[in-house]
Amino acid sequence: MRELINNANYDVVVVGAGPGGSMASYYASKNGAKTLLIEKSQEIGEPVRCAEAIPRLEDFGIIPDPQFVRNHIKGGYLIAPNGKKIEVKGGKTDGHVVERKIFDKYLAIRSARAGTKMAVKSRVVGLEHNGDGYDVIISHLGEEYTVKAKIVIAADGVESSVAEMAGLKSKKIPTQVCSCAEYEMTNVKLLDNEMMEFYFGDICPKGYAWIFPKGDTANVGLGVIDKNKKAIDYLNEFIEHPILEGRLKDATPIEFKCGGAPVGGPIEKTVDDNIMVVGDAAGQISPLSGGGIYLSMSCGSMAGEVAAKSIKNNNYSKDALIEYENRWKEKYYDILMAELKYKNVLQKLTENELNALADAMDEKLEEVDVKKIAFKAVKKAPSLLKYFKEII
Amino acid sequence: MRELINNANYDVVVVGAGPGGSMASYYASKNGAKTLLIEKSQEIGEPVRCAEAIPRLEDFGIIPDPQFVRNHIKGGYLIAPNGKKIEVKGGKTDGHVVERKIFDKYLAIRSARAGTKMAVKSRVVGLEHNGDGYDVIISHLGEEYTVKAKIVIAADGVESSVAEMAGLKSKKIPTQVCSCAEYEMTNVKLLDNEMMEFYFGDICPKGYAWIFPKGDTANVGLGVIDKNKKAIDYLNEFIEHPILEGRLKDATPIEFKCGGAPVGGPIEKTVDDNIMVVGDAAGQISPLSGGGIYLSMSCGSMAGEVAAKSIKNNNYSKDALIEYENRWKEKYYDILMAELKYKNVLQKLTENELNALADAMDEKLEEVDVKKIAFKAVKKAPSLLKYFKEII
Amino acid sequence: MKVNHEKCGYCGACVGVCNKLAIELVENIIVIDTEKCNDCKSCMMVCPLNALEE
Amino acid sequence: MKVNHEKCGYCGACVGVCNKLAIELVENIIVIDTEKCNDCKSCMMVCPLNALEE
């Protein structure tokens, strides 16, 4: 394995074998670039830090495979503090709950089969611009190695260190990071075996709690932004909360997961000479839902394609790589910024206001049209106008 | 989760959610005992420390499921230093290569669905006999908790600390522990997609190297006993060794695994008042192959059944629990001791002697009958008699 | 700042908010470079498990 | 003895041969109690990765 990182030269070096990095390296390799994917853990996908729901895998040409798919999802219930349930079905809510550690591993294997070489248990500890690209300094089993890369793709997740090393501002503001904690549990009584459950209110300030069906188990977790109390403490209260009507009474944990979701919107600059940033590191994650797998995979694919094209054209400058930023912004920037606005409104609502909002909503929705909902809500509960005027 | 470990009382507390522990807790719960399974990691099955081959899952009533089965196996090639291949098929060689982290998780979920409660990210740090059973001291997220157990089942793997805390001698002798290192790789050219490969000789003193097909990947690893050179160094040499005829030239690692296999035979005492020891901790692992999953599962099942029976009879003394030791010894003790003897012979052979032995063997075997092989080998190469006289 | 490894879930949330690059997740172990750390406590705030201590 | 965490694969082989109970695998971190350790080097011998150092 050492010969892969010992003074080797690559066109593209991708840091981080999450969904964003594996899609980036897949498309880079597929389009002819000599590509190395670096993963610091000895096992890909470890530790799991996620609620594991993904919409429409088919968009990526990936067949939902029983080795990683645990549940089909046809929608979700949004549940207000007073217990009012809004059922949302169809469109974007259709998807799967996966076993992330196997899904991530599957994507990495898929990339390797397309030609990507892979260094595991290998950590990037330095990045030095050498005029023509980057010297990537790697620590593996206590020894340091250097590889040369014409293009580096930083896909190191919420940690966001690699882009920062290259001078791009990728670190996150703490009030814009959702602290998440989750038990995967068995013997959970679900509302519906194919519906996700979302709970809002003081049980989870500035975030939400969730129960996602996962085959023989369910992911029971939450994401919170709070200076005084920890996600784990909110979680231990949530699983005994009356709103669950004892549905977790016989449940037992099988796995524990935690993580930080950077929900503050995308970072300002995602490209520079010889470098691109994708996924959580780039803030490519829904500020509203905290969902990031789909976005990471989509933006990662674009980064991989642009990387390979730049290698072919022998131009790895910012001017060439900006195509990646233009492409992902065209597709996702407006949505992300709108969601950021909605999130900021939602975070301000009291439990009474959340209840009023829920009571103003239809019990069944085909899709979440925020403007329409806001309009109806203000008509029924005019006191909400102060929050929603910006949206309407 | 904390209420599961905060001053709670259990009939049976199983330590370690590997295959042995999960089978033990499954049968304890299924037969009516109030059971807690304690796992120190936040994710079951992490880190993986194994080559992942298991014979005949069906013996346990477990259906090979695509979520964890990666490959069917119909046999193996034993390969001598000179390249001579002995093909072994049928009987015990039939089985599966699994994704251990998912297999282990599956078994734990199966146990939880039978009634077992489970404490994850929870580590046993002390064991105190209280006259009637054990106080089990647990560390969880930096806090200490105590649960009371009438019976403790120590299934903490090669670490073997729990039984030792209870005064049973379970720690291993270093010369009887095989050091293992393994890359899971993709783009490996296998000899056959359903055959395991075993390599013997100086590439791996006192152990062997292996290539096991695993669907889109293969586990390429070895286990060695050597004071001077490390398993990882042997492994890095093995993957470039001429005997592989360049079949790993395009391969790339996807995962790294390592571990210690306690191949010195079973420990002397596996029961005492209020305690039983199963799996690697008890040395229930083939001294010859290092395979331990099947044995752990089988012996774990027995321990779970005996535990539940003892609870019903209100007798958890050594006299009651000895039934477990009698049962597993009746089924496996003679085999394990014979394998130990064969292993000790095999470890003494030089490369020339291994070649002579291979040359004396048929190229295709239906099963490995060691006595028959030894007899034929000595006939062809009488110099081997000094090793084999004990066996014949 | 320092880490209580018994409480840590090695998720790296703290790493993501440390703009001094003082925190690294070395596989499964959070390591803090006390020379670089300016005690801003951002890491404490985002930790889901209260694993960071002064 | 001490552990080089950069080299360690946290497999626990070293724990299994320490009859002084001086080594513990705290989830993914090998921790050595130097008070209990009698420097017998058994742990060094079985480590697949050369992660144990004097």
Tell me what pLDDT residue B17 has. 98
Co-location of B247 and B316 in the same domain: no
Tell me what pLDDT residue A121 has. 98
Co-location of A300 and A364 in the same domain: no
Co-location of B238 and B359 in the same domain: no
Tell me what pLDDT residue A392 has. 74
Co-location of A242 and A201 in the same domain: yes
Co-location of B180 and B234 in the same domain: yes
Q: What is the mean pLDDT of residues A374-378?
A: 84
Tell me what pLDDT residue B134 has. 98
Q: What is the pLDDT of residues B50-105, one digit of tens each?
A: 899 999 899 999 999 999 999 999 999 999 999 999 999 977 778 999 999 999 99
Q: Which residues of C touch A159 (CB under 8 A)?
A: 12, 15-16, 25
Co-location of B39 and B106 in the same domain: yes
Subunits touching D (CB < 8 Å, at least 3 pairs)? A, B, C
Q: Which residues of C touch D10 (CB under 8 A)?
A: 28
Q: Which residues of A touch C30 (CB under 8 A)?
A: none
CATH classification of the domain holding D20: 3.30.70.20
Q: Which residues of C touch A283 (CB under 8 A)?
A: none
In eight-state DSSP terms, residue C8 is -
Closest partner CB to C27 (pick from A41, A165, A174)? A41
Tell me what pLDDT residue A391 has. 78
Q: What is the pLDDT of residues B345-378, one digit of tens each?
A: 999 999 999 999 999 888 898 877 788 888 888 8
The closest alpha carbon to D42, from B206, B179, A50, belongs to B179
pLDDT at residue B255 above 90?
yes
Burial pattern A256-288, b for ≥16 Cβ within 10 A else e, equals: bbbbbbbbbbbbebbbbbbbbbbbbbbbbbbbb
- Report the mean per-residue pLDDT for chain A: 95
pLDDT at residue A150 above 90?
yes
Q: What's the alpha-carbon Rg for chain D, to the nearest Å?
A: 10
In this complex, is the C-beta atom of A139 within 8 Å of any C-beta atom belonging to chain D?
yes
Final residue in a domain of this structure, among A217, A236, A262: A262
Q: What is the pLDDT of residues A252-307, one digit of tens each?
A: 999 999 999 999 999 999 999 999 999 999 999 999 999 999 999 999 999 999 99
Co-location of A125 and A212 in the same domain: no
Q: How many Å apart are CA B308 and CA B292, to the nearest integer?
A: 24
Final residue in a domain of this structure, among B214, B233, B262: B262
pLDDT at residue A90 above 80?
no
Q: Which two tokens stand for residue A49?
A: 């830090």
Tell me what pLDDT residue A377 has. 84
Q: How far is A277 from chain B (nearest CA, A)?
A: 23
Q: What is the pLDDT of residues C25-38, one digit of tens each?
A: 999 999 999 999 99
Torsional class of A340: left (φ above 0), alpha (ψ -120 to 50), beta (otherwise):
alpha
Subunits touching A (CB < 8 Å, at least 3 pairs)? B, C, D
Q: Which residues contact A312 (CB under 8 A, 6 or more apart)?
A: A31, A32
Co-location of B23 and B125 in the same domain: yes
pLDDT class for A208, splitting at 50, 70, 90? very high
Co-location of B39 and B112 in the same domain: yes
Q: Between residues B384 and B80, which one has the greater pLDDT?
A: B80
**Contact present, A116 and A275 (Cβ < 8 Å):** no
Domain count, chain C: 1
CATH classification of the domain holding B148: 3.50.50.60
The structure tokens 């304690």 sit at B38
Q: Which residues of D touch A141 (CB under 8 A)?
A: 6-7, 49
Q: What is the pLDDT of residues A152-197, one digit of tens each?
A: 999 999 999 999 999 999 999 999 999 999 999 999 999 999 999 9
Tell me what pLDDT residue B390 has. 78
Tell me what pLDDT residue A386 has. 87
Q: What is the pLDDT of residues B267-290, one digit of tens each?
A: 999 999 999 999 999 999 999 999
Provide the number of CB pairs (under 8 Å) joining chain A to chain C. Answer: 92
Domain count, chain B: 3
pLDDT class for C2, splitting at 50, 70, 90? very high
Q: How many residues does chain D have?
A: 54
Co-location of B212 and B254 in the same domain: yes
Q: How many Å apart are CA B14 and CA C38, to the nearest integer?
A: 45
pLDDT class for A378, splitting at 50, 70, 90? confident
Q: How far is D11 from chain C (nearest CA, A)?
A: 13
- Three-state SS sequence of chain B: CHHHHCCCEEEEEEECCCHHHHHHHHHHHHCCCCEEEECCCCCCCCCCCCCCEEECHHHHCCCCCCCCEEEEECEEEEECCCCCEEEEECHHHCEEEECHHHHHHHHHHHHHHCCCEEECCEEEEEEEECCCCEEEEEEECCEEEEEEEEEEEECCHHHCHHHHHCCCCCCCCHHHEEEEEEEEEECCCCCCCCEEEEECCCCCCCCEEEEEEECCEEEEEEEECCCCCCHHHHHHHHCCCHHHCCCCCCCEEEEEEEEEEECCCCCCCCEECCEEECHHHHCCCCCCCCCCHHHHHHHHHHHHHHHHHHHHHCCCCHHHHHHHHHHHHHHHHHHHHHHHHHHHHHCCCCHHHHHHHHHHCCCEECCCCHHHHHHHHHHHCHHHHHHHCCCC
Per CB distance under 8 Å, which residues of C are interface residues toward B?
A: 4, 6-7, 9, 49, 51
- Report the mean per-residue pLDDT for chain D: 97
In D, minimum Cα distance to A46 occurs at D28
pLDDT class for A11, splitting at 50, 70, 90? very high
pLDDT class for B312, splitting at 50, 70, 90? very high
Q: What is the pLDDT of residues A35-84, one digit of tens each?
A: 999 999 999 999 999 899 999 899 999 999 999 999 999 999 999 999 99
Final residue in a domain of this structure, among A206, A239, A262: A262
Count other Cβ atoms within 10 Å, centred on residue B124. Answer: 23
Co-location of B235 and B222 in the same domain: yes
Tell me what pLDDT residue B329 has. 98
Q: How many residues does chain C have?
A: 54
Tell me what pLDDT residue B367 has. 75
Tell me what pLDDT residue A86 has. 95
The percentage of chain B sitting over the pLDDT mark of 70, rounded to a whole number, equals: 100
Tell me what pLDDT residue B71 has. 97
In eight-state DSSP terms, residue A171 is P
Tell me what pLDDT residue B321 has. 98
pLDDT at residue A318 above 80?
yes
> Structural domain of residue A154, as residue ranges?
2-46+101-170+266-342
Provide the number of CB pairs (under 8 Å) joining chain A to chain D. Answer: 10
**Contact present, D30 and B258 (Cβ < 8 Å):** no
CATH classification of the domain holding B58: 3.30.9.10
Tell me what pLDDT residue A45 has. 96
Tell me what pLDDT residue B379 has. 86
Co-location of A108 and A256 in the same domain: no
- Report the mean per-residue pLDDT for chain C: 97
Q: What is the mean pLDDT of residues D22-29?
A: 97
> Structural domain of residue D42, as residue ranges?
2-53
Q: What is the mean pLDDT of residues A22-28?
A: 98
**Contact present, B274 and B148 (Cβ < 8 Å):** no
Q: How far is B381 from chain D (nearest CA, A)?
A: 34
Maximum CA extent, chain B: 67
pLDDT at residue B114 above 90?
yes
